[in-house]
Amino acid sequence: MKIAILGSGLMGAKLGRLWAACGHDVTFAYSRSTAKLERLASEAGGAHASVSEAVVGAEAILLSVHWSRIDDVLDQAGDMSGQVVLNCCVPLNESNTELVLGTTTSGAEELARLRPEARWVACFNTSPSEAFDPVFARKDREPRPHLMVYGDDDGAKQVAGTLIADIGYAPLECGPLRTARFAEPFAMVTAELAYGQPGGTALTYRFDKLR
Ligand SMILES: NC(=O)c1ccc[n+]([C@@H]2O[C@H](COP(=O)([O-])OP(=O)(O)OC[C@H]3O[C@@H](n4cnc5c(N)ncnc54)[C@H](OP(=O)(O)O)[C@@H]3O)[C@@H](O)[C@H]2O)c1
């Protein structure tokens, strides 16, 4: 699959590298350092490009920037009409301490409002990036950890489900994009568990229904 990474930081660099290792055609974009993008591309066996170049023909786009950079990235990305966009962003303030949107809307819904022609799906926002490598390394072990996925476009969810499974998670269907109102605050719980509580940062989770 041709994948554009818009935001090649903790999330984008790690996910892009792992997807490239699975054989996907990954293009890294949006960093303040072209040298960093070149290094990521060379290490992963992928490419690097500007945002506007990376989105052309991409079958999946990962949006992985700080909330304060959203307008800038979207300006460069254009309308992404008909393209599947995986959003892992949490709508946080500059100091990453408070959600700037919530309860009656969400970051995910705001993005869909800003780019209504794109096929939005939210995932990876409820996992610390430190978990991706260990989850990938344990891909053969069952049961796999869950990863929440939600959105209004079933086809986009299927694409996301494939990419989630490639990392080593079991996609957990969590309903429509509106779920973001509750999942984005939950992302803050996963961040507290990973970074604020003892036991390390490679946090995973599973939800099970008892029979
Ligand atoms: N990190 C996590 O574990 C985690 C978990 C769940 C959700 N999230 C969410 O995922 C999103 C991405 O998080 P992250 O931790 O990957 O962020 P990050 O490490 O800060 O990466 C963001 C990327 O955006 C680039 N960038 C920032 N300002 C820029 C500018 N002015 N011009 C061009 N590029 C710029 C950064 O460039 P540089 O390469 O130059 O730094 C970096 O490549 C956020 O919305 C966050 O809330 C993160």
Tell whether 205 is covered by a domain: no
Ligand 1 interacting residues, C-beta cut-off 6 A: 7-12, 30-33, 36, 64-67, 69, 88-90, 92, 125, 128-129, 187
Domain annotation covers residue 204: no
Instruction: Categorize the per-residue pLDDT at 206 as very low, low, confident or very high, splitting at 50, 70 and 90.
Output: very high
The tens digit of pLDDT for each residue in 54-64 reads 999 999 999 99
Position 206 in a domain: no
Atom 30, ligand 1: which residue's CA is nearest? Answer: 32
Residue 210 domain-assigned? Answer: no
In the β-sheet with 47-48, what is the strand arrangement from edge to edge? 47-48, 25-29, 2-6, 60-63, 84-87, 119-123, 146-150, 170-173
CATH number at residue 79: 3.40.50.720
- For position 69, what pLDDT does the model report? 98
Which domain, by its residues, includes 140?
2-196
Work out the mean pLDDT of the chain and round it to a whole number.
98
Please give the tally of structural domains in the chain: 1
Model's pTM, two decimal places? 0.98
In sequence order, the 6+-apart residues with CB closer than 8 A to the CB of 61 are: 3, 4, 6, 54, 55, 77, 80, 83, 84, 85, 86, 118
Give per-residue pLDDT as tens, 116-174.
999 999 999 999 999 999 999 999 999 999 999 999 999 999 999 999 999 999 999 99
**Domain assignment present for 203:** no
In a domain, 207, yes or no: no
Kindly give the distance from the C-alpha atom of residue 77 to the centroid of ligand 1, in angstroms, as a whole number. 16
- Sequence letter at residue 75: D
- pLDDT for 65-88, tens place per residue? 999 999 999 999 999 999 999 999
In the reported structure, the alpha carbon of residue 210 is separated from the centroid of ligand 1 by a whole-number distance in angstroms of 38
Residue identifier of the C-alpha nearest atom 15 of ligand 1: 10
